[in-house]
Amino acid sequence: MTTLRLAKELTALERLRALLDAVASLGDRAGDVYLVGGTVRDILLGEESFDVDIAVEGDAIEFARALASTLEGRLTPHEKFGTAVVLYGEDKRIDVVTTRTELYDAPGALPTVERAGLREDLFRRDFTVNAMAVSLQPADFGRLVDPFGGRADLEARLLRVLHNRSFIDDPTRIFRAIRYEARYGLRLEEHSGRLARACIEMGLVGDLSSARLRDELQALLEDPGAIGGILRLGELAADRAIHPHLRADANAAELFERALKLRDELHIVVPSWRIGLAVLGRDMSSEEAYGWLERLKVRRRDVDRIAGAITIAPRIVERLRTAQLDPAEIVALADPFAPDAPLLALSREDTPALRDYFARLRDVRIEIGGAELATMGLSESPRVGEVLAELRRRKLNGELDGRESELEAARALIAAAPEE
């Protein structure tokens, strides 16, 4: 087999220039250094921006220290793991590890790690396309190390595991596969696909620790290819393996797509993953949604928004169908779980009422506050909130016009029902 050299490709990359100069200037002190993993995959795919991961057959921290000093960067060593991060320039980052092998004691558990050669380091990885390295040693510069056929798989657009236990060792790889499929137009090769399904059927995805599962779902739902990713989650039956009432089907993909479009069009601030979890969990009861999200260790205020969207959005849709509401009533309906619940409701049924809520009503504020009420003799008490709420209600319904009319209405309200 001829050895493929990527020397020309590497030197053409602006992103690598400072690093390559630094390694060259270190000469023999650099040792056996390689670009590895996703970095090599992205370079072969011609991706413009990519993370730089380096593996050293030797002491990663020692190499990273020399690199940081040559690049005039900052070194953060992690002695416990034998890894290091080098930050340099304005915002550049290089991750350095010692080549290692991983031993899995139990499915889904984090592995124990042992120092090993480059080939074993590549063999511990998820897919052949991520199991390549490129040498940076001066004598060997640009040589592609590809023991498992990663380049051929990348050309054929295939994701292939390196051995049959891969998904069992680490079921999060199923989510990584879905992400890579959606992002790069790759496809799980047939045998690997069967292994993924078997792992799901064995219940190993459901056994993943909650925080790891949450991180994977978030990464998938934040990915630009998330819509395709949702469909694939359902095709592989990974949704039901996570929770019996999670539904990643064509309706979910459509609803998610519509919600993202409306979010961007109406300038609503809410992360994609939060919309995505509400869409996937839309068939859950309120108790199921709260229980599931708490088990996933989602932050409390996000749990409230997502579970709120799951339970309240259908009620908002229903209420708007059956009643003619004035603007203040629309706000009273939408505000408590905003923006998630009204956004999901709008994605289910496009109504002028909710468009008006996002375009205008949600930003309507009265001009006066507690200070003005105090000068009218209303001291701090729940009555202050009540008066302000009543003023906002009137303003929303077009009954007030500017500061003077608000002051006048406030005086009348206080006079009509003074403090007890």
Closer of 127 and 357 to ligand CTP (Cβ): 127
**Is-contact 119 105, C-beta < 8 A?**
no
Closer of 173 and 362 to ligand CTP (Cβ): 173
**40 CB contacts (<8 Å, ≥6 apart)?**
132, 133, 134, 144, 150
For residue 169, the minimal CB distance to ligand CTP (Å) is 9
Burial class of residue 419 (count of CB atoms within 10 Å of its CB; 0-12, 13-18, 19+): exposed
For residue 264, the minimal CB distance to ligand CTP (Å) is 23
Q: Tokens 């510069």, residue?
A: 141
108-147 binders of ligand CTP (CB under 6 A): 125-126, 130
Closer of 173 and 247 to ligand CTP (Cβ): 173
Closer of 173 and 274 to ligand CTP (Cβ): 173
Closer of 123 and 141 to ligand CTP (Cβ): 123
Tokens of 357: 């809520």
Other C-beta atoms lying within 10 Å of the C-beta of residue 199: 25
**Is-contact 286 307, C-beta < 8 A?**
yes
Coil, strand, or helix at residue 15? helix
351 — phi, psi (to 5°)?
-115, 145
Residue in 70, 172, 192, 218 binding ligand CTP, rule: CB under 6 A: 172
170 binding ligand CTP? (CB under 6 A): yes
For residue 138, the minimal CB distance to ligand CTP (Å) is 25
Segment lying near ligand CTP (by CB under 6 A), choices 166-174, 198-206, 227-235, 265-273: 166-174
Segment lying near ligand CTP (by CB under 6 A), choices 133-141, 167-175, 258-266, 291-299: 167-175
Q: What angle (nearest 5°) sits at the alpha carbon of residue 304, between those of residues 360 and 370? A: 55
222 binding ligand CTP? (CB under 6 A): no
Q: Which residues pair with 144 in a beta bridge?
A: 134
73 binding ligand CTP? (CB under 6 A): no
Which string of x and - marks every residue 11-50 that binds ligand CTP (by CB under 6 A)? --------------------------xx------------
Residue in 51, 72, 326, 350 binding ligand CTP, rule: CB under 6 A: 51
For residue 223, the minimal CB distance to ligand CTP (Å) is 9
Closer of 141 and 184 to ligand CTP (Cβ): 184
**Is-contact 250 278, C-beta < 8 A?**
no
| Binding footprint of ligand CTP, residue count (CB under 6 A) | 10
Distance CA 113, CA 98 (A): 11
Alpha-helix residue ranges (DSSP H) falling in 247-324: 250-265, 272-280, 286-295, 300-322
Segment lying near ligand CTP (by CB under 6 A), choices 135-143, 169-177, 264-272, 381-389: 169-177
Closer of 170 and 406 to ligand CTP (Cβ): 170
Closer of 208 and 331 to ligand CTP (Cβ): 208
For residue 35, the minimal CB distance to ligand CTP (Å) is 11
For residue 103, the minimal CB distance to ligand CTP (Å) is 14
Q: Tokens 């992400």, residue?
A: 179
Closest CA to 186 of 220, 158, 162: 158
Distance CA 221, CA 257 (A): 11
For residue 3, the minimal CB distance to ligand CTP (Å) is 22
Strands 144-145 and 74-78: unpaired
Coil, strand, or helix at residue 77? strand
Residues in contact with ligand CTP by the rule CB under 6 A: 37-38, 51, 125-126, 130, 170, 172-173, 176
